[in-house]
A and B are shown apart, each in its own frame.
Chain A
Amino acid sequence: MGDSLSDETLEQTLKQALDQAVGRLRETVDRALRVPYYRDSFARAGIESAEDIRSIADFQRVPFTQKEDLRLNYPFGLFAEPLDNIVRLQASSGTTGKMTVVGYTANDIELWATAMADALRRGGVTPQDIVQVGYGYGLFTGGLGYHYGCEKLGALTIPLSSGNTERHIMFLRDMKSTVLACTSSYALHIADTAAEMGLGPEDFCLRMGVFGAEPWTEAMRTMITQRLGLKSALDMYGLSEIIGPGVAMECAHINGLHMAPYFYPEIVDTWGRIMPPGTQGELVLSSMGKEAFPSVRYRTKDLTTLSYGRCACGFCGWSISRIAGRVDDMLIIRGVNVFPSQIEEAILSVEGIEPHYLIVVDRRGALDYLEVQVEVSGEAVDGISRLEELQQTLQQRIFRILGLAARVRLVEPLSLPRSEGKAVRVRDMRVFDS
């Protein structure tokens, strides 16, 4: 990034952006200080008033907010506005543990829709598009987040929600939807189901996909693009604790996920130390301008890298790389850090294997045992040697990526669970003494 700007100009722009951010983060801290829980934790860090925030270094003294803080304050403890001023509740999808609740004022809803619309526009969605939304509508921010953003953009928005895959396929065909928005695993499921129904890209008018809510790989992007006949498949990032989808998204140039100007990003290591630009670490986000639920240095548990610069699309600001994994998803197997996305990468690099997989971790005696179950595709069947070769190739690829021996088990198609939302890829059967 930044090739259109000299390093010096870019540095100046960054300095200006940081100066601006300090002012807006001060407002966020001021707003958070209305909340007793934040007031106490800030006081323990020596921050009594927003006036204490005069630089980014000052802001970096503000304590982190964790998922646990949201749970402790369930349901409304972290709201900075009286319920009277709050017009909407959303809740986390509860992928891990207890649900957390967030609130929005009318201004927040407007800010969210603007962030979404801007992101989608940069990605190439236009008012002429027909957007089929396959994210769940309801407490999950996915459905309504896209819905408001697409409507704000002026696109024809179809609120299909997730589930009922055959109806999705029927709509793709009959409504001639041009954009599909859902999780990447659900997009693949739609493509597979369409193929089973004897339908393919030539029966649809899809040109673009916006996928998110779970980490997905480049190989997966290629596969979905081919199977649905897309011209582009872009990654969207967001989380309810910050606002929902629309926090950051790839533009048509696929040059990192550009972050909306309402969020201030930092990258930290496990101990919360700020990492230099370009280093992979945990993304920490703070909101700028959000009212009901100010986010203050929220630890997202998503792993990425951060950069600042200008993109050919005209965007200038912070961008994150595609999410490499979640701190939570990380499995420690025989002392090695393993992310499901690494295994997915290996699987998609082997022809004859379907992108449906399940990672099973168990303990045999004192040793961790890693098994990867994958579905074979029809082309590979016939020769035992070909199948065994597949098995061995995949084992070798996994070993090369992880430095860890895994046992690959070929299973029949459709025997692994399909997802309509966030995919469940890991079954950890180990029992840890706590």
Chain B
Amino acid sequence: MLQLSIFLENAKGRLAQALSVLADLNVNIRALSLADTKDFGVLRLVVDDPERVAVLLKERSFVVKVTKVWFLQVEDRPGGLADVLDKLVERGVIVEYMYGFVEKAGELAQIVLRVRDQALMEDAVGELALGIPQG
């Protein structure tokens, strides 16, 4: 799966401004996380058709990067995420960052994972038969 990372200066109203640009472009945000430092932040987004949205944002002078991330389904209960992460760590997967969201009502929660080594992750996902949401 692909995620958009947008560089934002840590300035008053900048996040709201970026979000309203997305609204104008009629982009529906399915998941989002914001990492911030004193000077700047990185807004990470899961949207439909990320590559098209990236082009539109670049045209509007945003610094955007399209990054490969993993979507996993975990059980929506205490320890659901910990179980999955334990198994990934055992297999040597290094998580660079992650964020979670619950899409609609259901038994399962979803997480977005960015890992360092894609091949390791692919193996782990296969071996563990981890749930990867469709679409």
Contacts and interface: CB of A to CB of B under 8 A. Distances in A.
B37 A383 contact: no
Chain A interface: which size bin? 20 to 34
Given A381-B5, A381-B7, A412 B96 contact: no
A7 interface: no
Nearest to A354: B63
Query: Which of B35, B40, B62: most chain A Cβ within 10 A?
Result: B40
Chain B binding site: helix, strand, loop or mixed by DSSP?
strand
Interface stretch (A10-18, A106-114, A165-173, A372-380): A372-380
Interface in A381-410: 381-385, 387-388, 391, 409-410
B6 interface: yes
> Which label, helix, strand, loop or mixed, suits the secondary structure of the A interface?
mixed
A382 B65 contact: yes
Contact of A412 (B8, B37, B65): B8
A330 to B, nearest CB: 28
Contact of A382 (B8, B9, B40, B67): B67
A383 to B, nearest CB: 6
Question: Which interface residue of B37, B39, B62, B96 has the most chain A CB atoms within 10 A?
Answer: B39
B38 to A, nearest CB: 9
A413 interface: yes
Contact of A381 (B9, B61, B64): B64
A382 B42 contact: yes
Interface string B27-64: 00000000101011010100000000000001001111
A415 B42 contact: no
B23 to A, nearest CB: 19
Nearest to A407: B39
A385 B9 CA distance: 16
Contacts of B39: 391, 409-410
Interface string A409-422: 11111110000000
B61 A384 contact: no
Nearest to B54: A378
A384 B63 contact: no
B99 interface: no
B97 interface: yes
A179 to B, nearest CB: 31
A377 B9 contact: no
Given A411-B9, A413-B61, A381 B37 contact: no
A297 B5 CA distance: 57
Contact of B61 (A383, A385, A410, A414): A414
A385 B97 CA distance: 10
A382 B5 contact: yes
Interface string A43-75: 000000000000000000000000000000000
B65 to A, nearest CB: 4
A381 B67 CA distance: 9
B17 to A, nearest CB: 11
Nearest to B62: A412
Contact of B37 (A376, A384, A414): A384
Contact of B7 (A385, A391, A412): A412
Contacts of A380: 65
A420 to B, nearest CB: 18
B67 A376 contact: no
Contacts of B58: 378
Interface string B81-110: 000000000000000110000000000000
13 contacts: A376-B7, A377-B63, A378-B63, A382-B5, A382-B67, A383-B42, A384-B37, A384-B42, A387-B42, A388-B37, A410-B40, A412-B62, A413-B61
